[in-house]
Structure 1
Amino acid sequence: MTTIQDSVVRADSALSLSGVLASGLPHDLGTAQGPTRYTVPAVFSRRPEPREVELLHGEAMKKRLADAGYSDVELQISDRRLLITNTNLVDLKAGLAHLVGVILRDISAQAAQERTHRNDELEALGLVEEERLESLRKAAADIHFD
Structure 2
Amino acid sequence: MTTTQSQPVQSASLLSLSGVLASALPHDLGTAKGPALYTVPAVFSRRPEPRELDLLHGIDVSRRLDESGYGDVELLVSDRRLLITNTNLEELKAGLARLVGTILREISEQALLERISRAEELDALSLIEEHRLEALRSSAAEIHFD
| TM, length-normalised to structure 2 | 0.90
Counterpart in the other structure of 2:21: 21
Counterpart in the other structure of 2:141: 141
Separation of aligned partners in 2, 1:56 and 1:99: 13
Separation of aligned partners in 1, 2:135 and 2:63: 52
SS in structure 2 at match of 1:46: coil
| Shift of residue 113, structure 1, vs aligned partner | 1.1
Structure 1 residues without counterparts, runs of 5 or longer: 1-9
Query: In the comparison of the two structures, how many residue pairs are matched?
Result: 137
Counterpart in the other structure of 1:124: 124
Superposed CA deviations along residues 27-70 of structure 1, whole A, max 9, x for unmatched, are 11111111110000000000111000000000000000000000
Separation of aligned partners in 2, 1:88 and 1:12: 28
| Shift of residue 145, structure 1, vs aligned partner | 2.9
Structure 2 residues without counterparts, runs of 5 or longer: 1-9
Counterpart in the other structure of 2:47: 47
| Structure 1 vs Structure 2 CA RMSD | 1.5
| Shift of residue 12, structure 1, vs aligned partner | 6.4
Separation of aligned partners in 2, 1:12 and 1:40: 24
Please identify which structure carries the higher helix content: 1
Q: After the TM superposition, which parts of structure 1 deviate over 3 Å for at least 4 consecutive aligned residues?
A: none
Q: CA 1:139–1:12 in 2, change beyond 3 Å: closer, same or farther?
A: farther
Sequence identity percentage:
70
Counterpart in the other structure of 1:4: none
Counterpart in the other structure of 2:4: none
Superposed CA deviations along residues 109-140 of structure 1, whole A, max 9, x for unmatched, are 11111111111111111110000000111122
Separation of aligned partners in 2, 1:129 and 1:77: 40
| Shift of residue 11, structure 1, vs aligned partner | 10
Separation of aligned partners in 2, 1:94 and 1:33: 23
Q: CA 1:136–1:11 in 2, change beyond 3 Å: closer, same or farther?
A: farther
Counterpart in the other structure of 2:98: 98
Which residue identity lines up with residue 14 of structure 1 in the other structure?
L
Which residue identity lines up with residue 130 of structure 1 in the other structure?
E
Matches within 5 A, 1:49-68: 49-68=49-68
Separation of aligned partners in 1, 2:127 and 2:12: 25
| TM, length-normalised to structure 1 | 0.90
Matches within 5 A, 1:3-22: 13-22=13-22
